[in-house]
């Protein structure tokens, strides 16, 4: 049997995320002033060049420096794990492969920043009146979208599998009801009474009554008698 192609080519999406992330940060470093809001959409969206030594959305940015190595190790570990899962995922399963690839690209994009600058460059700031969301970047966005995709598609796959199981159970139930109905239509269909001489041949009796029922699988072998 021919093996199904795996989902490793989806790593091209990871590469695209890394390239877009690094190009956007190069533009930020060359064009935007530090810690100065440049309005994009008044009252909602600013370009805001800032630096983050923590994780996405400035998580643990105020720690003592150990977080740099921790988040780098975490990013490499998660990326390696997701790449291993991609190698075991069929290529056509985009609902699984695409979120994995987005998370890998985002994680490695921020790792490059930590290696080059010692921190992550953030520049997208959303705000509403006096409340501002922590600044983020393209890599952070890919990580969040990928994580949401993993959760939503994982739930969707679970629901679809559950629906398939319920449909299979419904088909089995309908088949049993059909058998019961057909047996009721046979005038001589009465169970052999104990001591009638037919007790040892009940399996052949049942198969003989069911052989003409449409939609039933071939008759299985009779059960083996229990040892005395």
* Residue 212 is among the residues annotated as catalytic for this protein: no
Q: Is the dihedral of CA 72, 73, 75, 79 positive or negative?
A: positive
Q: Find the catalytic residue in 21, 113, 130, 140.
A: 140
The reply to whether 122 belongs to the active site is: yes
Indicate whether 96 belongs to any domain. yes
Task: Kindly state whether residue 154 falls inside one of the protein's structural domains.
Answer: yes
Has residue 147 been placed in a domain? yes
* Structural domain contains residue 81: yes
Query: How many structural domains are present in the chain?
Result: 1
Candidate list 62, 122, 130, 208, residue with the active-site label? 122
Does residue 194 fall inside a structural domain?
no
What's the CA gap between 41 and 43, in Å, rounded?
6
Q: Could you list the pLDDT tens digit for every one of the 228 residues in the chain?
A: 455 789 999 999 999 999 999 999 999 999 999 999 999 999 899 999 999 876 555 555 555 566 778 888 999 999 999 999 999 999 999 999 999 999 999 999 999 999 898 889 999 999 987 888 889 999 999 999 999 999 999 888 888 888 888 888 887 777 777 766 666 555 545 555 544 554 455 556 666 656 665 555 555 555 555 565
CA distances from 129 to 13, 42, 125, 219, 227 (A): 36, 10, 13, 73, 82
């Amino acid at each position: 049997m021919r093996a199904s192609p795996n989902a490793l080519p989806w790593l091209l999406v990871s590469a695209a995320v890394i390239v877009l992330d690094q190009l956007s940060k190069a533009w930020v470093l060359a064009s935007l002033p530090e810690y100065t809001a440049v309005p994009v959409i008044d009252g909602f969206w600013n370009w805001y060049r800032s630096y983050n030594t923590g994780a996405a959305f400035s998580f643990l940015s105020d720690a003592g420096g150990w977080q740099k190595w921790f988040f780098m190790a975490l990013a490499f570990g998660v990326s390696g794990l997701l790449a291993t899962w991609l190698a075991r995922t069929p290529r056509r399963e985009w609902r699984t492969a695409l979120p994995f690839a987005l998370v890998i690209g985002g994680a490695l994009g921020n790792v490059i920043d930590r290696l080059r600058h010692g921190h992550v460059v953030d520049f997208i700031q959303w705000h509403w009146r006096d409340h501002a969301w922590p600044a983020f970047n393209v890599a952070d966005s890919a990580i969040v979208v990928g994580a949401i995709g993993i959760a939503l598609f994982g739930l969707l796959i679970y629901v679809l599998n559950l629906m398939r199981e319920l449909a299979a159970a419904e088909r089995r139930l309908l088949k049993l009801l059909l058998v019961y109905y057909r047996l009721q239509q046979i005038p001589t269909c009465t169970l052999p009474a104990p001591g009638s001489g037919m007790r040892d041949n009940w399996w052949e009796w049942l198969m003989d009554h069911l052989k003409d029922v449409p939609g039933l699988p071939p008759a299985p072998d009779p059960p083996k008698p229990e040892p005395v």
